[in-house]
Amino acid sequence: MQKHGDVMQRINEIQSDIENAYLDAFLVTDATNIFYLTGFKLIQGDGLLLIHQETGYLITDDRYEEALTEFDDKSLVGCISRRYLSKLKECCEQLHITVLGFESKISYREYDILDEIMDADIVPMTDFIENHRANKDTQEIETITATAALHDEAFDYLSQYIQVGMTEIQIANQLDWWMKQQGASKASFDTIVASGANAAKPHALSTSKKISSGDILIIDYGYFLDGYTADVTRTVGLPGVADEFDTIYRILTAAKEQATARIVPGVRGSEIDKVARQIIADAGYGEYFNHGIGHGIGLDIHELPTSYGADNSTLLEQQVVTIEPGIYLPHNGGIRIEDDLLITSTGVQQLTHAPKQLPIL
């Protein structure tokens, strides 16, 4: 659960936004956003959070009734009902809500039902909660820092474990076991272990392919620890790997370091992307870098600032972002180096630490 002060502060911030947006209240249906605001963990679809200008109402069913007893302050009122929308309508009528904001990412079917049942005018709002989640508070930064450190330790472990003849899935499963042994709850996405030609696919699926001498091997993984995830990619070579991959690794290291050095609060994400992309292009590999330079992380594996590349997302202090240049040679292999960074008042704090030279296992 979030601390009492965190719940109060986060809900108060949303209440200020509600007033500034000329709304009477705001409806939160995304389970991660509900957790961020309240510390209350719901399965997606198991409840609603109605934030009024004076208090918040968490509407869920009796499976969560005992857990709701932990909330004993005026910032949040628990409402038990299996008919979530009927209870929502009842609350809105009692509070005389005439203009209700809601998260614009809900499905059309959900919107249609909401529009039919509510007497209040409903107004879609984009990233109403996510904009707050982008800037991490002290507690969140401490948690993500610890999570990131565990991801560095995981690579040290894998470096000793991986052997020629193992399958991609075997390595991915071993990483999953080790991370959970260290306290991680689950992966934030399916771990990518891609060897040889599979490594030319940025979002490859781990397969039963055995790794061989001379292979390049990409490992992209992220795990939740205390609710927050990191996201790193490490690339290693197996004995006999082509010299070109060592050259590519050095190019990507330079691109990552120079792009990182340009990050300060207020810089456009597209500017950071341009720095890395220019270095890669000057080295003759521009056409083989086919994704954005990074994205925000936190309670989700992809948060604001969203994949910053061609777009003009502004990077701000206290955001945690990835930086992940890659080069992918079709039918041959690829390399990606991904680290996590905290944006500070003067630049960045490195949270994970990729090797500066291609590791050979």
Q: Give the CATH number for residue 35.
A: 3.40.350.10
For 258-305, how does the pLDDT look when each residue is reduced to its tens digit (9 = 90+)? 999 999 999 999 999 999 999 999 999 999 999 999 999 999 999 999
At 3, which amino acid appears?
Answer: K
- Looking at residue 1, what is its pLDDT? 46
Nearest Cα neighbor of 137 from 16, 302, 5 is 5
**120 close to 24: Cβ distance less than 8 angstroms:** yes
Same domain, 63 and 154: no
Shared domain for 73 and 37, answered yes or no, is yes
Q: Which two tokens stand for residue 102?
A: 């809601």
Range of the domain at 113: 4-129
Domain stops at, among 82, 97, 129: 129
Radius of gyration, CA atoms only, the chain: 23
Q: Is residue 355 part of a domain?
A: no
Residue 284: give its domain's CATH number.
3.90.230.10
Check whether residue 114 and residue 27 sit in a common domain: yes
- 319 or 79, greater pLDDT: 319
Say whether pLDDT at 112 is over 70.
Answer: yes
221 and 275: one domain?
Answer: yes
Domain membership of residue 361 (yes or no) is no
CA 302 – CA 280 distance, rounded (Å): 24
Residue 140's pLDDT is what? 96
Other Cβ atoms within 10 Å of 198 Cβ, number: 22
Residue 4's pLDDT band (cuts 50, 70, 90): very low
- Residues 154, 71 share a domain: no
**In the chain, which ranges are continuous DSSP H helix?**
4-20, 31-38, 65-68, 84-94, 108-117, 130-134, 138-161, 168-181, 243-261, 269-282
Kindly state whether residues 117 and 199 are assigned to the same domain.
Answer: no
Among candidates 361, 357, 350, 355, which has minimal Cα distance to 148?
A: 350
For tokens 């989640």, name the residue.
133
Q: Checking DSSP bridges between strand 232-237 and strand 303-308, what pairing results, if any?
A: unpaired
pLDDT in tens, 85-97: 999 999 999 999 9
Q: Read off the pLDDT band of 70 (50, 70, 90).
A: confident
Share of the chain above pLDDT 90, in %: 85
- Average pLDDT taken over every residue of the chain: 94
Do both 125 and 142 map to the same domain? Answer: no
> Is 298 within a domain?
yes
- Report yes or no on 357 lying in a domain: no
Is there a single domain that holds both residue 18 and residue 92?
A: yes
Into how many domains does the chain fold? 2
The Cα 179–Cα 225 span in angstroms is 9
**Which of 129, 156, 186 delimits the end of a domain?**
129
In a domain, 150, yes or no: yes
> Helix, strand, coil shares of the chain as percentages rounded to 5?
40, 25, 40
Instruction: Say if residue 112 is in the same domain as residue 66.
Output: yes
pLDDT tens string 121-175: 999 999 999 999 999 999 999 999 999 999 999 999 999 999 999 999 999 999 9
Q: Which residues pair with 56 in a beta bridge?
A: 51, 76
User: Do 258 and 156 fall within a single domain?
Assistant: yes
This prediction's pTM: 0.93
Phi-psi region of 296 (alpha: psi -120 to 50; beta: other; left: phi over 0): beta
Q: Answer whether 295's CB lies under 8 Å from 305's CB.
A: yes
Residue 282 lies in a domain: yes
pLDDT tens digit string along 28-51? Answer: 999 999 999 998 888 888 899 999
